Amino acid sequence: MAEKLYTIPVNEAFDSGAECPVCAMFTKLENDSIDFMMGPSYMEDDIRMDTNKMGFCKPHMRMLAVQKNRLGLALILKTHLDEQKKQALSFKGKQIKPKTLLKKPERSDLAVWCEKQTESCYICSRIKNTFGRYIDTVLHLYKKDPEFRKKYESCKGFCQEHMGMLIDKGQEILSQDMLNTFYQTTLDLYTENLQRLADDLDWFTDKFDYRYKDAPWKNSRDAIERAVTKTNGIIME
Ligand SMILES: [Zn+2]
Ligand SMILES: [Zn+2]
């Protein structure tokens, strides 16, 4: 099956001990894409044509902007600005109507274009396809590979976004009995691990009490970093 290609990164993520293995997969893909962008690829014509048109979303531009390859980023930005200017000039001379109490005018092409541009991102589109295959692979492995199923059952659960994604994909791939078990397991993993994190946060806050100043941290030292993965899918590095 085509998913064979993806079993290694999927297994690695489930072995990583992350609060959401799917977040771990996504973050690795994201970091690899940023490295790819800042490697020799930006000098390739077809890639540059795509980055000129699509640009980058705010989080990914923020990641690119702190990379060491300043020359590379300057070149990417320069030709992207040229393309943006060219596209923006095509709206010149168009007429738009004011909003009145009675009638809401059609949105201007320029405003629609602005919205599209802020949503479009070369890195997001590069990640999207592979990430979809990763999610497929999680479900195929769960279905076919008892070893992986054990690994799934003993992971630390998922963030909300990815739990939802897994449940949706489970409905596509698993048959009724297995789907019921998968659903219950996934939900149990979520709630039990929320409890574990809540306990870690409890101890973290207790440590601010002078009575516990010299007590051991137990598992709580990085409780905030791990909790934000669960709540918002953020992997702190
Ligand atoms: Zn996640
Ligand atoms: Zn993006």
- Give the ligand whose atoms come closest to the C-alpha of residue 233: 1
The one-character DSSP state at 104 is: P
Averaged pLDDT, 104-109: 86
pTM summary value: 0.87
**Cα(138)–Cα(127) distance, rounded to whole angstroms?**
17
The pLDDT tens digits of the residues spanning 112-167 come to 999 999 999 999 999 998 999 999 999 999 999 999 999 999 999 999 999 999 99
Q: How far is the CA of 157 from the centre of ligand 1 (A)?
A: 9
Q: Average pLDDT of the chain?
A: 94
For 7, 9, 80, 105, 106, the CA distances from 99, given in Å and listed in that order, are: 54, 52, 33, 6, 9
- Please tell me the predicted confidence (pLDDT) of residue 106: 85
Q: How far is the CA of 123 from the centre of ligand 2 (A)?
A: 5
Q: How far is the CA of 68 from the centre of ligand 2 (A)?
A: 19
At 3, is the pLDDT very low, low, confident or very high (cuts 50, 70, 90)?
low
Nearest alpha-carbon partner for 72 in 50, 41, 49, 117: 41
Question: Would you kindly state where each structural domain of the chain is located, as residue ranges?
Answer: 2-90+107-232
Lowest mean pLDDT among 67-76, 141-150, 211-220: 211-220
Q: CB burial class (10 A; 0-12, 13-18, 19+) of residue 165?
A: middle
Which letter, b or e, does each residue of 52-74 get, where b requires 16 or more Cβ atoms within 10 Å of its Cβ?
bebbbbeebeebbeeeeeeebbe
Q: How far is the CA of 183 from the centre of ligand 2 (A)?
A: 30
Nearest alpha-carbon partner for 219 in 206, 210, 231: 206
Q: Which residue has the tokens 């297995």?
A: 178
Q: How far is the CA of 25 from the centre of ligand 1 (A)?
A: 9
- Checking if the pLDDT of 237 tops 80, the result is no
At 102, is the pLDDT very low, low, confident or very high (cuts 50, 70, 90)?
confident
- Checking if the pLDDT of 2 tops 80, the result is no
